[in-house]
Amino acid sequence: MSQSPSMTSPSGVIAPALAASTAKNHVRMLAIDALRGFVMLLMLVDHVRETFLLHRQVTDPIDALSVTPDLYFTRLLSTLCAPVFIFLTGLSAWLYSQKHSAGQTSLFLLKRGLFLVFLELTFVCFAWNAEFPPKTLWLQVIWCIGICMIVLAALLHFKRRWLIVLGVAIVAGHNLLDGVVLGPDSPFFVPWSILHQRAFIDITEFTRARTTYPVLPWIGVILLGWAIGPWFGKDVEPAVRLRRLFTMGLGLLLAFVFIRYLNVYGDKPWVQTGDALRTFMSFMSATKYPPSLMFLMPTLGIGLMLLALFEKAQERGAIALLAVYGGAPMFFYLLHLYVLKALYLIAVAVWGTNQGTYFGFDDLPMVWLWSVLLGVALFFPTRWFAGFKQRRRDIAILKYF
């Protein structure tokens, strides 16, 4: 029996192999974009809350003894966003490096990091303050991601094992520095405020900066995201990757429960309240600014398990929908901020301030309702931009969005 040429020729062997490799790569990237999109939708809920429920402020860490449970768990859900997003930034940088040299990857991260810092100081600050020039420059998550990219651009030339050691040391050990608090008269006040201490930094007589996101712990997170990159290599079978992600995620959650139960390190102590729900809320309350070990372990653990789940469920339509948001993250971020600011200003103009000096919703369900409505409404321009970015690769600046 003669064999078909497609069975024996090099092209007949190589083409299916290339197709399989391309399909695997698509699945990996789809899961990453979907997880990024998922946490960005949680971020949207939190920003709707910060816009229209500002009269019910939430502390950091969340005060489990005073906040209502519904508001507590709404805020708790949103804490997944920053650690997962920055971790995925490191992972995405590693994937980028597989098609580019180390020098090209460094240059890309440096330019993108500087671009994000520029966006934070201009368009993002204006979206929050609606004033120019702003009295306060809020150095928040976009600034933080930019600085982390710049640091990663310098460190990626070291061997992976050293980046793992450094990343773990920063994430696990930075709480040892919590007692180091410097005043404005210290010559190290500004760099320390950028690295580990939330503070206001006077820039001019009329302008100051607020280091909302001290960057040191987040540098550890982006390094760990980069270090996990080889798990997503083309030669790694999906089943092996999923098992590693799930095992690592579960291990982080179990380690969190054990260390948190000991109540000796990693964050402010939790308390027994006499009420099971309030005690659980106290147990789970962790410091985000800067992120404590007890904040990062459960959020990264859940993020790793979700990444495995999303890759396993990649054929479901919901994963592709979530990936639309994650495929154009910077566009979605800027768009949702400006839409929220416009809606708030319109509401104040029409109804005035009904919650003291703020306009706000009376209850939390309205936050969730408007979050769903905005998520649906913003899907369509985000999908258009994601497609435009894919079609017009000749426009270099689009890759930064």
pLDDT at 316 over 90: no
Q: How would residue 398 be classed by pLDDT, with cut points 50, 70 and 90?
A: confident
Asked if 105 contacts 96 with a C-beta cutoff of 8 angstroms, the reply is yes
Q: What is the pLDDT of residues 39-82, one digit of tens each?
A: 999 999 999 999 999 889 898 899 999 999 999 999 999 999 99
Q: What is the pLDDT of residues 153-209, one digit of tens each?
A: 999 999 999 999 999 999 999 999 999 999 999 999 999 999 999 999 999 888 999
- Region 229-243: what's the mean pLDDT? 94
Long-range contacts formed by 361-367: CB under 8 A, 24+ apart? 361/52, 361/53, 364/49, 364/53, 364/68, 364/70, 364/71, 364/74, 366/52, 367/45, 367/48, 367/49, 367/52, 367/53, 367/74
Q: What is the mean pLDDT of the chain?
A: 91
- Region 369-391: what's the mean pLDDT? 95
Q: Look up the pTM and report it.
A: 0.92
Q: Pull the structure tokens for residue 100.
A: 């580019």
